[in-house]
Structure 1
């Protein structure tokens, strides 16, 4: 028995040594434990601070860091970004994404098949065109008005506002309007309807951790079904996406209503009717589910970042307010502001970009697999099958691209020159995987931010205390209580 255990530990040590000193990635620097086992990555994933760890690793080891035995993180938001994610890339999504779907399933977010992803994206892309979105702008305007009314109520009562929560409510209701022609009612009730937010949080936590060891996803799913019927883990594994049943019910209700409304459901159903074999009803439900989950969280995160950094930098807030006051005095702003008007406000757009640079929504590397034949990145030969990726938190702090003041909130960095204005960020992904909902998110932000800034004075209740963040792929913020006061205009 002793000899068997001794042999087992010798084999474990030999495997670890081979991964560290023999395999092709042996020359890539990084933590010793990360080169031997995925436990290093799993440990930091469990702690919910992988984005900060990733930044520190690059500061310590340089532009390429080994974060698992067969995985490296890259800090090169120019050449390597184009090679890994650019047009025509053969780098496929890694197995990390498998844990975000039921075993064997796929979605536009998770699909590793490049051709299939491109085909399915084409089927729905027209619904996300700028022309389509502008036709739905009134839906967003209605949500802006509701949110403004709720903030007015808080201002008149003098009580503080959990701004992190309320911005999530706004984002959920906008997605409801755009997708189903119906607000979900989060802003009306001010609460987590049906525990949707909590369920989304549980889903993100599960997929982030299980993504590190995706080979356990399928057997874990089977075990949960077998031994834990009706449990929360079962629901998380069975649906593997927030609000699937909710989305399906909303789609069916929307079909029964037959409203004359060019929302996304109408467009998805039209595609289904034209190409039922290529786009069955299951795909309609799946697309709506993705909209509810990813569409609400990412925008809420970006909006929190905007207001947080403006509160932390009152001079920048005043600069934005001056731009809005000037535009209003010249009769260039309606009430609420239109998307076209907002896009012409240069400082506003710079504020949005800078907030998303400092706090991008995603906090892990966008992991891809090196294709057949291998590749060379930053002078290192990476064999086929190696997982590589760039973390937006790392890329957005690259001093070569953004200058030495990367930790400071400086919207002006986007206004200095044409070159500055065209800096590349990966807030919404890159290349063929750029988020389909990018323009929806930008519209939501561009309409809400100026409307609140022009009408309210917003201050953090605890300005000297940093907010709390948790990284389960999406870096969500909490502890953002604010005082809201109405601005009386003369």
Structure 2
């Protein structure tokens, strides 16, 4: 006779199978004529879990669209749409679409602006957070960006001095340094001081499991990567996160643990700031100050948990996304013949010396610099997957691109695919060519969505663009570069991240 625990396990497994297969048989019949990325994709959500687990979701979905066209079923109730007209229909203002349960995997401390699925809650939070990123506030952040850029320059100057005698270039991996730069910058902007990664040349920082708890230390860049990789998998089947610590896959167990550690960074830093402000006050103008000042329509500020959750959102968005974007841009910038020289020539016209500090107002409107940035964000697509939205449960069926979708259907537009569609970008869509930005078609303008689209788009876009602009202009003005790798190998978690970017560097004299 089977032990009771074995019987219970088999019953639970049977119920799970009935739930997911039953969902296919009885709830998704209106989608049955849409081609699936795999026969398993139409039957079970576990298929997408597997593709995400091995870091190939964006490639698998892209291949499926190349085979089947605009509409591809990637889960029993989830359709991926590779059509530019679907972007505003799904993500635009006023359509009532909500985020799917994919975002439940990303909740930490409490639901923040990124992970909240409630329309009313999102409206309330965005009102509080949005003023933090007003044009006036963002301009006040520039001073902190320069402080951290200057520390990066000091470190890279030391690297230049280590060039071997038989070479003009010093060889190193720039990828971790971009991570140190963006972590320290967001530490400065969000919490009042950098984490010290640039100064120390490594990513060990403090975290706490709970407010006032003992200080612990971790490698933050690695932890953030593991978190994103695991949560992108668990988001495909969010109930798995609740038992994440019990899962047999150490990849997922470690990712869940890393997610708690990353949340602990915000817990430690917010606690430190609240204690300091209570005793000394603050005259500092940064993201955390603005979040603490923010009020909702009822005049209420963020509570401690909400404040910590929003600070965590800014920490993650302002470090991981920006560092991967910078690395991807630099790889393609150096790989493409003639682009670096052309960009340097443009920047040299407004920054007269390699040692001059680069003011954002001076370089923000340089057309080729902007084109190099946009083309890098297009072809690298740091956020490569399609962000899932739900057709409103309490509304009518929705028609998108000539196809009707019933309430409750999950829809998404895959960024990687939409950024590379030949029908939009031309036969050279897989090539880095900044010159294409000299004259864009209407469809190209609509298809470029590195920061998302509509009311749930990235609230920190202005900060990210300022940081990337300043970093690119400063670095190409001060240094010459060479690239030492043929391919930029990446792994997809929530973000599409590179493994390394080996470059050569030397100081420019004029």
TM-score w.r.t. the length of structure 2 is: 0.85
Aligned partner of 1:287 in structure 2 is 310
**138-147 or 92-101, which moves further after superposition?**
138-147
Over 3 Å counting, the alpha-carbon distance change for 1:185 and 1:273 in structure 2 is farther
Q: Identify the match of residue 27 of structure 1 among 23, 33, 36.
A: 33
> Whole-Å Cα distance in 1 between the matches of residues 50 and 105 of structure 2?
17
Name the SS of the counterpart of 1:157 in structure 2. Answer: coil
Q: Distance in 2 between matches of 1:117 and 1:62?
A: 34
Paired with 2:439 and 2:483, the residues of 1 have a C-alpha distance of 30
Residue 152 of structure 2: aligned partner: 147
- Please state whether the residue corresponding to 1:440 is helix, strand or coil: helix
- Distance in 1, Cα, partners of 2:276 & 2:172: 33
**Cα offset for 1:248?**
2.7
Alignment of 1:384-423 (within 5 A): 384-416=407-439, 422-423=445-446
| Native 8 Å contact 2:224 2:262 kept in 1 | no
1:374 to 366, 374, 397: 397
Q: 1:240 to 1:138 in 2, by over 3 A?
A: closer
Structure 2 gaps of 5+ residues are 2-6, 164-169, 206-218
How far residue 53 of structure 1 moved from its aligned partner, in angstroms, is: 1.4
Q: Kindly indicate whether residue 103 of structure 2 is the aligned counterpart of residue 97 of structure 1.
A: yes
1:127 to 117, 124, 132: 132
* Inter-CA distance 67–324: structure 2 relative to 1 (3 Å threshold): same
For residues 163-174 of structure 1, what are the structure 2 equivalents within 5 Å?
163-174=174-185
Larger CA deviation: 391-400 vs 84-93 = 391-400
Distance 1:319 1:122, change over 3 A: same
2:48 corresponds, among 36, 41, 45, to 41
Calculate the aligned-residue CA RMSD, in Å.
Answer: 3.0
Separation in structure 2 between the aligned mates of residue 13 and residue 88 of structure 1, nearest angstrom: 32
Distance 1:21 1:234, change over 3 A: closer
**Correspondence 1:317 to 2:340:** yes
Whether 2:460 is the aligned partner of 1:437: answer yes
Q: Are 2:498 and 1:477 aligned?
A: yes
1-side partners of 2:20 and 2:230: how far apart?
Answer: 31
What does the per-residue CA deviation read over 1:357-377, in whole Å, with 9 as the maximum and x for residues that have no partner? 011221221100011322122
Tell me by how many angstroms 1:386 deviates.
0.9
Q: How far, CA to CA, are the matches of 2:178 and 2:97 in structure 1?
A: 35
User: Out of 204, 214, 236, which is 2:228 matched to?
Assistant: 204
Cα displacement (A) at 1:171: 0.4
More divergent stretch after superposition (446-455 vs 177-186): 177-186
Deviation readout 1:357-406 (Å, 9 max, x if unpaired): 01122122110001132212233221111110011111111233322211
Following superposition, the deviation at residue 189 of structure 1 comes to 0.6
Q: Of residues 218, 237, 260 in structure 1, which corresponds to 2:242? A: 218
The whole-number CA distance in structure 2 between the counterparts of 1:28 and 1:291 is 38
Does the residue aligned with 1:428 lie in a helix, a strand or coil?
coil
Distance 2:111 2:294 in 1: 19
1:453-468 to 2 correspondence within 5 Å? 453-462=476-485, 464=486, 466-468=487-489
Tell me if the contact between 2:241 and 2:256 (Cα under 8 Å) persists in the aligned partners: no
Residue 251 of structure 1: aligned partner: 273
Deviation at residue 46 of structure 1 after TM alignment:
0.7
Aligned to 1:116: 121
Q: Which residue of the other structure, out of 76, 80, 90, is the alignment partner of 1:69?
A: 76
Change (3 A) 1:179 1:22: closer
Q: For each residue in 1:102-155, what CA deviation from the matched residue of structure 2 results, as whole angstroms up to 9, or x when unmatched?
A: 49x421101111121011110121110111110121111111111111111111
Alpha carbons 1:85, 1:430 under 8 Å: kept:
yes
1:272-318 Cα distance to aligned partner (Å, 9 max, x none): 69978451122222211111112101100110011100110131111
Indicate if the aligned counterparts of 1:28 and 1:64 stay in contact, CA closer than 8 A. Answer: yes
Q: Following the alignment from structure 1 to structure 2, what is the Cα–Cα distance between the partners of residues 63 and 420?
A: 15
Structure 1 contact 414–420 (Cα < 8 Å) conserved: no
Pair 1:59 & 2:70 matched:
no
Query: Which whole-Å CA distance do the structure 2 matches of 1:289 and 1:431 have between them?
Result: 22
Q: Aligned residues, how many?
A: 472
Per-residue deviation, residues 135-179 of structure 1 (Å, max 9, x unmatched):
121111111111111111111112422211000100011111212
2:469 matches 1:446: yes
- Cα drift, residue 218 of structure 1: 3.0
2:190 is equivalent to residue 179 of structure 1: yes
Partners of 1:473 and 1:52 in 2: CA distance: 14
CA distance in 2, matches of 1:62, 1:209: 25
Mapped contact 1:100–1:240 kept (Cα < 8 A): no
Alignment-derived partner of residue 303 in structure 1: 326
209-218 or 53-62, which deviates more: 209-218
**Contact conserved, 1:415 with 1:421, CA < 8 A, in 2?**
no
* TM-score of the two chains, using structure 1 as the length reference: 0.88
What are the ranges of 5 or more consecutive residues in structure 1 without an aligned counterpart? none
**1:239–1:304 CA distance, 2 compared to 1 (3 A):** closer
